[in-house]
A and B are shown apart, each in its own frame.
Chain A
Amino acid sequence: MKLKRLMALGMAAVMTMSLTACGGSDDKPSDSTAADNAAASNTASSDKDAGSDSDAAGETPSEAGVPTIDKINVGEDYKDLTASIKILTNRTDIVDTVYAGYADQFMELYPNITVEYEAVTDYEEAVTLRLTAGGWGDIMFIPTSVPKNELSTYFMSLGDYNTLDQIYNFVDEKTFEGNVYGIANGGTAGGIAYNKKVWADAGITEMPKTPDEFLEDLQKIKDNTEAVPLYTNFSAGWTMGAWDQYIECAATGDPDFHNNLPHMKDPFTKRDDMTGPYAVYYVLYESVARKLVEEDPASSDWESSKGAINRGEIATMVLGSWAVNQFKEAGDNPDDIGYMPFPITVNGKQYAGSGGNYGYGINKDASDDNKIASMLYVKWLIEESPMFLDEGSIPARKDGEFPAVLEAFDGVELIANSPAPDGEEDLFDDVNNESEVGINNNDYPDCEILEAALYGTRTLDEIMTEWNEKWSAAQESLGVEVNK
């Protein structure tokens, strides 16, 4: 039920970095040739840290002993450091196997550092409680409940934005006032997973480019094959929230759409060219209303759906690219699983959004030794470990290789949300929470779309009007400037 939190992958909240600019920004951190790991090497960065930690002036001296993440050399620096660190994760399923394996590899490199994982059930809620109380450990996936302007209260700065932005993807998702507090555990691109064989068997030769073409294709699958055209995985909850990830980049092709949303009047209104948020929810609503989804969404089943799409019993699932590896591994037909962009065309072109998963944050109240050990481990994870390959995600490093899944995105432009303008870092979240529309953080409104379509209680237009009203009310109560 809370799988969203467990998967860490629901395209967390904000998508930011422009991936198209991936190319030439490779400056290896090992450039800091001097192995002078101690305080001296990093006066510059520690100054910045001190500045960011304005509410904890007493911390400044200790921050001075910790380098920024770009300046630390994994495998070379601090080989004699002895520390024991604890890292929190939401992956209760693989914590003792895959993750423990990563920790073991790291501990071979750094025999004096002990890395211990702790898996947390009901991650977001439980970790938020722990944060407010303190003393939770050394590294965690930063929960979405932490607004950017509070990041420095709980996490240490890993370096300044301008430097880290050159090296890593998605850093500005956890950046506030020029300091980076979290680096993403990789990222995902938003498209649709499908079984190529089923789609071909249904007689579909060309991939759909608009919502209506997509719905027609689903109808063909229903008419010509035995497969469930579109499996919603409704009862898992997070699978419904996953629809939100398409309403920004994929539906508009505009990297600034996310930042403009809190200023927009009636963003959920239908557009004539069938783009924008409405078009995404239209696909969801109509496929349910036309009975192109599983018969009993309330008892749908995420775990077995993986095998079902692999075997061709399910034709399509609308989920981020992270899911593709799992579908391939769930049966004997890995080659049947394909990935396509969301069927919306903006001025003749298709787009896909990408965004970071949970970011690693390091406890600002940890000891210096633990901070350094944590930083070494985080850096090792995102640069040296096989994690990205294992999870099929977009790597944290800009010069890393994209997962093979995304090869299918030929001719599709992969974009990410632009960084939020200064002073508006939390504006989207504020309006989003206040309105309770809950884009990318509350599954329930999406569930309501399915319920309305299933029972025929409300039309999509009625729902979208209600969301517009809630959005306006939130803008008004927060005093946000609205562009007409």
Chain B
Amino acid sequence: MSEINEKKSIGNIAFSIFKYLMLIAGSLVAVIPVVVCVFTAFKTEAEYQSTSPLSLPKSFFYLENFKVAFKQANMARGFLNTAIVLVVVLVLSVLMGSMLAYVLNRFKFVGNGLIRNLFMFAALLPGIAMQVTIYQIMNALGLINHLYGYMICLMGTDIISIYIFLQFFENLPVSLDESAIIDGCTYFGVFFKILLPLLKPAIMTSVVLKGVGVYNEYYASSLYLQSKELKTISTALYTFTGPYGSQYNYICAGVLITIIPILVIFLIFQKQVYGGLAAGAVKG
């Protein structure tokens, strides 16, 4: 944080007051819809129907809604699956994205520009319109109903990381590679030993963006992970769309159960998350 010597003038005090008021207002707006959900999740059915949504629940120890939501949506298994998918997809997409960016940035070859453009253009294509064919391809390759199939599908549509890494490589001096090569490094060595460690900020960026996306992805997982044991945490929530209609005491509990893990992870790695996003922003 920059240290700024604020002059204690009236103007500055007024600015400070304004600043804090605004920040408090902004934070409240951001948090209220979810806080209300927290209240509702602890209310009994009768309480939910008879009290204002803004009122506190009688007891914060009424956990029945959570139990129902947890069981109904088989969330324990969902957490495990999500964790597996998250780790594998993040590691592989970081590797793939950075490797591709390395090649595209460091080597001149026929089709380099074309390939870049293919990736950039892909970002504009409407995914929802292409589901039919994607499903058939997934099926033909036997990727449906396997966690690895779903992971491959998530990586196949991974354009953000590639973009971020490409940007980042622009700012890594080529002299690094050259001196390593003079020292006898192979290209693989250059990439894995020299460049990859330097990519840390870009890796953080893509981990944050991709991680949030993967954690919350529900459409593909509901299509491709069909059996009960394979459900991820967000599909678990998706099953609430129909049957519970608007039994918000259960739904809110379900929503909170899905939010809590990512919130905890976020709070632990807050600094790194901001840092990661910032790295992307500066280069962007």
Residues of A at under 8 Å CB distance from B?
1-3, 5-6, 90-94, 96, 118-122, 126, 129-130, 132-135, 236, 301-304, 307
Cβ A126 vs Cβ B243 within 8 A? no
Q: Does B131 contact A (CB under 8 A)?
A: yes
The answer to whether A119 and B245 have CB atoms under 8 Å apart is: no
User: Are the CB atoms of A134 and B243 closer together than 8 Å?
Assistant: no
User: In the complex the two chains form, what is the Cα distance from A119 to B226 in whole Å?
Assistant: 9
Q: How far is the CB of B36 from chain A (nearest CB, A)?
A: 15
Specify which of A93, A118, A133, A307 is in contact with B242 (CB 8 Å cutoff): A93
Assembly CA distance A91 to B72 (angstroms): 13
A166 to B247, CA, bound (A): 43
A117 to chain B, nearest CB (A): 9
Interface of B is mostly: helix
Query: Once bound together, how far apart are the Cα atoms of A242 and B138, in whole Å?
Result: 35
User: Mind listing 28 A-B residue pairs with CB under 8 Å?
Assistant: A1-B241, A2-B242, A3-B242, A3-B245, A6-B243, A92-B239, A94-B243, A96-B72, A118-B227, A118-B228, A119-B239, A120-B226, A121-B238, A121-B239, A122-B241, A126-B222, A126-B223, A129-B131, A129-B135, A132-B135, A132-B136, A133-B138, A133-B144, A135-B139, A236-B245, A301-B245, A302-B246, A304-B246
- A304: contacting residue among B49, B132, B139, B227, CB under 8 A: B49
- Bound state CA distance, A386 and B49, in angstroms? 33
Contact between B246 and A133, CB atoms less than 8 A apart? no
B13 to chain A, nearest CB (A): 44
A121 touches B222 (CB 8 A): yes
How far, in whole Å, are A6 and B243 apart by their CA atoms in the complex? 7
Q: Which residues from B are CB-within-8-Å of A2? A: 241-242
Contact status B243-A93, CB under 8 Å? yes
Q: How far is the CB of B214 from chain A (nearest CB, A)?
A: 19
Q: When the two chains form their complex, are residues A303 and B244 in contact, meaning their CB atoms are under 8 A apart?
A: yes
Q: Which residues of A contact B247 (CB under 8 A)?
A: 303-304
A6 near B242 (CB under 8 angstroms)?
A: yes
A90 contacts across to B, CB distance below 8 A: 242
Given contact pairs A118-B227, A302-B245, A303-B245, A133 touches B136 in the complex (Cβ within 8 A): yes
What 5 A-B pairs have minimum CB-CB distances, sorted nearest first? A93-B243, A303-B245, A6-B242, A133-B139, A301-B246
User: What is the chain A residue whose CB lies nearest that of B139?
Assistant: A133
Nearest CB of A to B246, in Å: 4
Q: Does B235 contact A (CB under 8 A)?
A: yes
Chain A residues within an 8 Å CB radius of B139: 133-135
From residue A295, how far is it (CB to closest CB) to chain B in Å? 16
**A303: contacting residue among B138, B227, B235, B246, CB under 8 A:** B246
**Chain B proximity of A241: nearest CB distance (Å):** 15
The interface centre, meaning the residue of B132, B235, B241 with most chain A CB atoms within 10 A of its CB, is: B241
Q: Which of B231-253 contact A (CB under 8 A)?
A: 235, 238-239, 241-247
* Cα-based distance from A90 to B239 in the complex (angstroms): 10
Binary CB contact string for chain B from 235 to 276 against chain A (1 if under 8 A, 0 otherwise): 100110111111100000000000000000000000000000
A301 to chain B, nearest CB (A): 4
CA distance in complex: A182, B259 (Å): 42
Residues on the B chain within 8 Å of A3, using CB: 242-243, 245
Closest-CB distance, B32 to chain A (whole angstroms): 18
User: With a CB–CB cut-off of 8 A, which chain A residues contact B131?
Assistant: 129
Q: How far is the CA of A22 from the CA of B258 in the complex (A)?
A: 51
A303-B72 Cα distance, complex, nearest whole Å: 17
Cα A92 to Cα B243 in complex, Å, equals 7
B189 to chain A, nearest CB (A): 44
B231 to chain A minimum Cβ distance, whole angstroms, is 10
Write out the residue numbers on chain B whose beta carbons fall within 8 Å of the beta carbon of A92: 239, 242-243
**CB of B47 to closest CB in A, whole Å:** 14
Interface residues on chain B, number (Cβ under 8 Å): 25
Query: For residue A126, which residues in chain B have a CB less than 8 angstroms away from its CB?
Result: 222-223
**What residues of chain B lie closer than 8 Å to A121, measured between beta carbons?**
222, 235, 238-239, 241-242
Which residues of A lie under 8 Å from residue B227 when comparing CB positions? 118
From 119 to 165 in chain B, residues with beta carbon under 8 angstroms from any chain A beta carbon are 131-132, 135-136, 138-140, 144
Shortest Cβ gap from B46 to chain A (Å): 10
Contacts of A120 in B (CB 8 A): 226
Nearest CB in chain A to that of B250: its residue: A303
10 new A-B pairs (CB below 8 Å) besides A133-B136, A133-B140? A1-B241, A3-B242, A118-B226, A120-B226, A129-B132, A129-B135, A132-B132, A132-B135, A302-B245, A304-B246
List the B residue with the shortest CB-CB distance to A93: B243
Within 8 A of A (CB), among B41-92: 49, 72
In angstroms, Cα B244 to Cα A301, docked, is 10
Distance (Å) between the CB of A299 and the closest chain B CB? 9
Expressed in whole angstroms, the minimum distance between the Cβ of A380 and any Cβ of chain B is 23
A5 partner residues in chain B, CB cutoff 8 A? 242
Contacts of A130 in B (CB 8 A): 135
Shortest beta-carbon distance from B274 to chain A in Å: 35
A90 to B243, CA, bound (A): 10
Q: Which A residues lie within 8 Å of B140 (CB)?
A: 133
**Which of B135, B144, B226 has the most A CB atoms < 10 Å from its CB?**
B226
A121–B242 Cα gap in the complex (Å)? 8
Q: Is the CB–CB distance between B239 and A133 below 8 Å?
A: no
Complex CA gap A119/B243 in Å reads 11
Query: Nearest Cβ in chain B — how far from A383, in angstroms?
Result: 27
205-228 of chain B: CB within 8 A of chain A: 222-223, 226-228
The CA of A91 and the CA of B247, in the complex, are separated in Å by: 17
A236: which B residues are within 8 A, CB to CB?
245
Closest A residue by C-beta to B72: A96
How near does chain A come to B244, taking the closest CB pair, in angstroms? 6
Contact B226 A129 (CB under 8 A): no
Interchain CA distance A118-B229 in the complex, whole Å: 11
A91 to B: closest C-beta gap in Å? 7
CB distance from B76 to the nearest CB of A (A): 14
B135 & A122 in contact (Cβ 8 Å cutoff): no
Q: How far is the CA of A118 from the CA of B241 in the complex (A)?
A: 16
Taking CB as reference atom, which chain B residue is nearest A123?
B242
Cα A91 to Cα B131 in complex, Å, equals 23
**Residue of B whose beta carbon sits closest to that of A6:** B242
Q: Compute how far the CA of A5 lies from the CA of B241 in the bound complex, rounded to whole angstroms.
A: 11
CA of A233 to CA of B121, assembled, Å? 42
The interface residues of chain A lying within 8 Å CB-to-CB of B138 are 133
Residues of A with C-beta under 8 A to B226: 118, 120
Q: Which residue of A lies closest to B244 (CB)?
A: A303
CB distance from A140 to the nearest CB of B (A): 12
A122 adjacent to B222 (CB under 8 Å): yes
For B139, B222, B243, B246, the residue with the greatest tally of chain A CB atoms inside 10 Å of its CB is B243
Residue ID in chain B nearest A235 by CB atoms:
B246
